[in-house]
Amino acid sequence: MKKITPIFRIFDEDKAKEFYVDFLEFRMDWEHRYEDDLPLYMQVSSGDCEIHLSGHHGDCTPGSAIRVEVVDIQSLHAKLIAKKYKHARPGLEDMEVSVTDPFGNRITFFERKDA
């Protein structure tokens, strides 16, 4: 097996981009729509971490959770706190930083204690 690509359900494209691109600083890799008036499906990434975001009913369930291993969790935490994002001020506990997107999906960034 190789890597996995989680899919998170989104309901508002602007809020999704504000959270994933502006706050978390993920890169917008691509966007896809079957037609102009249909929901957006897109990929964001940071390093080797790729997440698909879908506005399509039935692709996934809001309120999902993933864990993402990072290097230097303290720097990530400091960067996120410095942004003063009005919807999230995550703490750092036991080498983990958890954030919840505007649609109830949770991402827990963690650094291995043995690293």
Tell me the pLDDT tens digit for each residue of 56-110: 988 999 899 999 999 999 999 999 999 998 888 999 999 999 999 999 999 999 9
CA 26-30-35 angle, to 5 degrees, is 135
pLDDT of residue 115: 55
Return the structure tokens found at 61. 């369930």
Tell me the pLDDT tens digit for each residue of 7-48: 999 999 999 999 999 999 999 999 999 999 999 999 999 999
Instruction: Read off the pTM.
Output: 0.92
Q: 40 exposed, middle or buried (CB, 10 Å; 0-12, 13-18, 19+)?
A: middle
| C-beta atoms surrounding 42 within 10 Å | 21
